[in-house]
Amino acid sequence: MGNSHTRVRITGPVQTRTWNPAEGVVVERVEEKLLVRDFVRIVFFIPHDHFDIAAGVSHALGSYLRAVEGHQDAISTYTCCYWEPSTLNERGWQLIREALEPQERRYMEDYNEDEAHSLEKEGSDPYFGIYGAQDSRYRFSYHARLPWRETAPELVSTLEVTLPTEYMQANGPAQVRALASDMASRLPFASGHAGLALDVAYPQWDRLALLRPLIFRHPGFDIRGANIYDQMGTRVDGVHWMNFLGPPVLHELGGAESLRSRLQSPSTSVEALDGTRVVVTLGSEPEAGDLEQNQSLPAYRELARWLEYWQEPFAWGFLHRQGRDDDARELYRWWRRFLD
C-alpha cells in the first residue's frame, strides 16, 4: 500500500475522573492516551426506517464478520439498545439478532407517553455496535432513524465500519474495496463513502493544534464524524476514495453514463451497482496526498467540483455560537479543501 509515510499515531495526556466507592471520592488522574490515529472508514447514509433495511444491515454485518474473521482483536465488546458496553457473548449476539429481525412496523405516533420513554425496549430505536480491543479501531456501528409516518427528509439511518490501516496493509486495498461494495449491495443508501480518516479523541475541535499540521498537508484524511444526528438527508459528505451515490443525486447528475463522461481523471472509475446507484472510485487505493510533495489529489478535486452543489452544509457551524470563530474558520477552510 502507498503513502506509508503518512501513518499517524499521536499520544498525549488526558485527564480522567473515576469514582472510588470505598473512599467516596472522585479520583482524578492524568493518563497517556492515543489522541489521533489513522484508520479506514466505510459509511452509508440511508434515508429509510429500520423495518425496511434490517435485512440489508444484516447482510452488511455478515460481510464485515467474514472480512475480519481470524483477527483476534476485531471482536471484543458490544452495545445494544443503549446498554452499557459489555463483553460480546451469546447474550449479546442474541440481542443483535433480535434487533435485526423486527416483527412489526410501529410508528412514533402510535406510542403512548409511557412507551415513548422506553423505545429501546420496544425495538423502535434500533442501535448496536460491535467493537474490537481497545485502540484496535475495529468497529461495526448501526443506528436507525426514528420511524415517523411523516419523516423529516434530512433524517437518515447510518451504518459505519472502521478498520485499522494495518488491516488494509496486510490484506490489500482490493479487499477493503470488495467489503465496501458487498456491504452496499443490499442497502438503499442515498450516499456513502470509504477511505482514509483520522480518529480524533473527543472533543474533536479541541485537537486542532494536533490536527493542523496533518489535515492541511494531507487532504485525503477525513476528520468528519458520522452518526444519525448529522441529519445528512440525501446530500453527500465530501469526497473520498470510494464515493457511493444514489437517488436523488445520481439522477440529478444524469445517471452513471453522464457522470462517467464528465470525469476525465484516468484513475477514476464509475461502476453502476444497479439502475439508481453507483460507486465512484478514485484510484486503486486510498491516498492521503501530500501538498508539500505536490500530491494534491487531482481526481478528488475533479469529483468535488461536480458534487459541490449537493455537499452538506458546513458541519461545525455550532462553533460560531460558542464564540470559537477562529476554529470555525479554520475547519471551514479544511471543509472546502478540494474546492478552493
Q: Tell whether the model's pLDDT for residue 229 goes beyond 80.
A: no
Considering the domain boundaries, does residue 270 fall inside one? yes
Q: Is 166 exposed, middle or buried (0-12, 13-18, 19+ CB in 10 A)?
A: middle
pLDDT at 124: 53
DSSP annotation of 311:
B
Flag the least confident range among 152-156, 171-175, 192-196, 258-262. Answer: 152-156
Considering the domain boundaries, does residue 251 fall inside one? yes
Query: Please, which residues bridge with residue 159 across strands?
Result: 44, 142
Q: How far apart are CA 194 and CA 179, in angstroms?
A: 10
Mean pLDDT along residues 251-262:
95
Q: How far apart are CA 328 and CA 324, in angstroms?
A: 6
pLDDT tens digits for 183-203? Answer: 999 999 999 999 999 988 877
pLDDT tens digits for 284-340? Answer: 999 999 999 999 999 999 999 999 999 998 888 888 888 889 989 999 999 999 998
Considering the domain boundaries, does residue 317 fall inside one? yes
Average pLDDT across the chain, whole number:
89
Considering the domain boundaries, does residue 340 fall inside one? no
Q: How far apart are CA 124 and CA 104, in angstroms?
A: 10
Q: For the whole model, what pTM was predicted? A: 0.91
Mean pLDDT along residues 21-47:
89
Q: How far apart are CA 227 and CA 44, in angstroms?
A: 10
Question: Which position has the grid cell 412496523?
Answer: 105
Considering the domain boundaries, does residue 294 fall inside one? yes
Virtual torsion, Cα 300, 138, 187, 142, nearest 10 deg: -120
pLDDT tens digits for 53-78? Answer: 999 999 999 999 999 999 989 999 99
Considering the domain boundaries, does residue 321 fall inside one? yes
Mean pLDDT along residues 81-103:
86
pLDDT at 316: 84
Considering the domain boundaries, does residue 44 fall inside one? yes
In total, how many domains does the chain have? 1
pLDDT tens digits for 106-138? Answer: 787 887 776 666 554 444 568 899 999 988 999
Task: State whether the Cα torsion 226-227-231-232 is positive or negative.
Answer: positive
What is the chain's length? 340
Query: Domain of 99?
Result: 4-335
pLDDT at 123: 47
Mean pLDDT along residues 23-40:
87
pLDDT at 275: 86
Identity at 10, one-letter amino acid code: I
**Which stretches does DSSP call E strand in the chain?**
9-20, 25-46, 77-80, 86-87, 127-131, 139-143, 157-164, 191-200, 242-245, 268-272, 278-282
Considering the domain boundaries, does residue 35 fall inside one? yes
Q: Tell whether the model's pLDDT for residue 204 goes beyond 90.
A: no
Q: How far is CA 163 from CA 38, 143, 166, 279, 281, in A?
A: 10, 18, 8, 20, 18
Identity at 295, one-letter amino acid code: Q
Q: Tell whether the model's pLDDT for residue 3 goes beyond 50.
A: no
